[in-house]
Structure 1
Amino acid sequence: MEVQYLEQEQVKPTLVARIGKILFHGTPSATKEEIIQNLVAGTMPRYLKRLFYTDIPTSYVDNMTKGDAKKIGFEFTEEKDVFRVQLSDANRPESTITCKCSIMKELNKLKLFKIELNQVRQMVTDISCLTKNVDLRLMLCSKRILTVLKDDEMGCIQSLIESAVLDPNVKGGLRWPLGKSTSGDRCKRLIQD
């Protein structure tokens, strides 16, 4: 089966590395030894769920960006403050639109710089680093970046992004004023848990 993309889309493969901790939850009757045996055997019981927890100390991030990245041949260039806002579009019901935004600090507002459709994960691999007490998640993803949008579509997305308020006291750091999480009947912000 051949996938066809529109001319106004650009496909971009991306390799993402995230550090955190793999947390297992499920039945309280599973022992640590049973979990380790299942992991070694490559079988994961259905009742056992795993979560990749990324709230880690800043010392881990500093060590990774200043030391460990150079040891394995990567060069760390910069850290970005990027907000990702997910939207649904009534004209594209099968797609989720992800808007990448930077912060305009002087105005305390968001500035839209990239619009993507449904990121697809081709591979997700979790690696436990037992001696460092931290885990690594590698993801190979492909993104479809929208390069050309109609004026009404761009206006809809832009009005949602501009109505966002930076608020460090709420989860995710963004909130929308009452009634501003939609733009007409076309676009609406997807709520993230």
Structure 2
Amino acid sequence: MSYVPPHKRPSNRNPTPTPVPSSLNPKPFASPRHRQHQKPRSIPFSPRLIARWYVTSTESLALVPYDSEVIERKYGSKPLTVKGADEAGLVEEERGVLRGIVEQVARDLIKAVQHAKEESGSGDVKLFVMARVGKVLFGGDPSVCLDSIMKFLKCEGELNKLQARKTFYTTVSEEYIREVEQLLVDKCGFKFVRAKERYYIRVIDKRQPDLIMSCKCMALHDSGLELYKVEHIPLRHMVTDISCLSKNFDLRIMLNAKRAVKNLDADVAEGINQLISAAVIDPEVKWGLRWPLGKESAADRFVIVGVWHTEETILNRDKIRVNMRQVNRFDYLSSTDEDSNEISLKLIGLSEQLTEDHLCEGSIVDTIQEVVALFWDNLLSHSTGILC
């Protein structure tokens, strides 16, 4: 049978790729256009990242397998999740615990903002707070036990062993997306803003291999792309995961910093324009774009490392923006792709509060409490749930 390139192979909604033995998995930048560089971190963290994990009850906990064929195929093993062994009276206990968690989140946000300002100096950096729906999962290695992860409950600072074992899985079902959209509009007063389709091309400059530039593009009528914005991918300064034991889903709150690249050097602008002008919109490719052979790099310096194709629906209320998106990602470094349906809230009002000269912790606590209540009452308990 003749060889079919990856971007021309038929796509399934839930692909089941065959795991590649580590001994056969090509190292990043092994090809001539990638050599002599290490793989950049796809999600960069601040050196002073504040990372915490909470559970809404610490009584009678159990670490149990989480049944999801999709996640098992992705990670190669059955993940684990925390569950309350005794659910009687759990909801009322959780509401009290949540208040204490919110107060700590507020203190962490204030500290993380201070760190971000110190690290950015006079640079043009925009800070924003995000909240996401998902599930806190742990690696299924038999050596992972409840006692070994509970001691990390209040760790902060550098990435620790818990961070390496823990993941926040954010893929939800299409049915859940539709259910949440109707609920937010009908019950919570959110209004439809717009639907949009975007392409994100992730590019590295071999002279600065640790920085990934994200080129945000829109499709033109002639099947080409128009560059809308170039920015560095967000840097995370704070990540807090909350396992909500009486709910179907868990909650993540994080502080990110994003730096727009406004004044591109002439050679950088030329390299990016070459990559974008060579892109071909192809509906037969899951992630929407392909490049002719040899056109995935420019000037032997600028290299495409990833492509995202997103279709988003945006809702808005009281400086809270809800993004419900379907995203298809392709990673050139590992030759892997991913389809995902995701919900995230951009907390514009809280972000503005955190950039004021004089921060009021009480006001920030109240704002976070309102956001957590919105999630708790409306977004975390739905039967259509995470893909399984």
TM class, shorter-length:
0.7 to 0.9
User: Displacement, 1:125?
Assistant: 2.0
The aligned counterpart of 1:107 is 222
SS of residue in 1 equivalent to 2:276: helix
TM-score (norm 1): 0.73
Separation in 2 of the partners of 1:39 and 1:174? 45
Q: How far apart are the structure 2 equivalents of 1:2 and 1:134?
A: 34
User: What do the CA deviations read for 1:157-178 (whole angstroms, capped 9, x no partner)?
Assistant: 0221232233455564433222
Instruction: Report the secondary structure of 2:129's partner residue.
Output: strand
CA distance in 1, matches of 2:147, 2:194: 38
2:214 corresponds, among 68, 90, 98, to: 98
- Is there any run of 5+ residues in structure 2 with no aligned partner, and where? 1-117, 307-330, 335-388
What CA RMSD, in Å, does the superposition of the two structures yield over aligned residues?
A: 3.5
Question: Residue in 2 aligned with 1:38?
Answer: 150
Report how far residue 188 of structure 1 moved. 0.9
TM-score by length of 2: 0.40
Query: Structure 1 residues 102 and 66, CA, compared in 2 at 3 Å: closer, same or farther?
Result: farther
Equivalent in the alignment of 2:129: 15
* Corresponding residue to 1:165 among 262, 265, 280: 280
Q: Which has the larger helix fraction? A: 2
Farther-moved stretch of structure 1 (116-125 vs 126-135): 126-135
> Which residue identity lines up with residue 95 of structure 1 in the other structure?
L
8 Å Cα contact 1:26/1:48 also seen in 2: no
Letter in 2 for 1:81: E
Q: Distance in 2 between matches of 1:52 and 1:41?
A: 15
Q: For the Cα contact (< 8 Å) 1:26–1:47, is it kept in 2?
A: no
Matches of 1:48 and 1:88, distance apart in 2: 25
Q: Which residue of 2 aligns with 1:27?
A: 141
**What secondary structure sits across from 1:146 in the alignment?**
coil
Instruction: Measure, in 2, the Cα distance between the counterparts of 1:136 and 1:154.
Output: 39
Aligned to 1:85: 201
Deviation by residue 1:102-122 (Cα, 9 ceiling, x = unmatched): 233x33333221111242111
For 2:137, give the aligned amino acid. L
259, 268, 271: which one aligns with 1:144: 259
Task: State which structure, 1 or 2, has the greater radius of gyration over its C-alpha atoms.
Answer: 2
Deviation of the 1:85 alpha carbon: 1.7
Which letter does structure 2 place at the counterpart of 1:23?
L
Matching residue within 221, 232, 241 for 1:126: 241
**Preserved contact between residue 65 and residue 76 of structure 1 (Cα < 8 Å):** no
**Once the two structures are superposed, what CA deviation does each residue of 1:10-67 show, in whole Å capped at 9, x if it has no partner?**
3211223333333321413546xx2797289547865972233333112222333343
**Secondary structure of 1:162 counterpart:** helix
Take 2:224 and 2:185, find their aligned partners in 1: how far apart are those partners? Answer: 32
Q: What amino acid is the match of 1:116? A: E
Give the length in aligned residue pairs: 187
CA spacing shift, 1:124–1:171, aligned 2, 3 Å: farther
Match of 2:293 in 1: 178
> How much has 1:75 moved relative to structure 2?
5.4
Report if aligned partners of 2:282, 2:289 keep a CA contact under 8 Å in 1. Answer: yes
- CA drift at 1:132: 4.7
Distance across 2 between alignment mates of 1:41 and 1:2: 27
Query: Could you say what secondary structure the match of 1:82 adopts?
Result: strand
Q: Please, which moves more after superposition, 109-118 or 123-132?
A: 123-132
Say if 1:119 and 1:46 are closer, same or farther in 2 by CA, change over 3 A. Answer: closer
- Partner Cα separation in structure 2 for residue 58 and residue 20 of structure 1: 14
Report the Cα distance in structure 2 between the residues aligned to 1:140 and 1:69, rounded to whole angstroms: 26
Q: Which amino acid aligns with 2:278?
A: S
Q: Percent identity?
A: 37
Aligned residue number for residue 386 of structure 2: none
Structure 1 residues 71 and 37: CA distance shift in structure 2, 3 A: farther
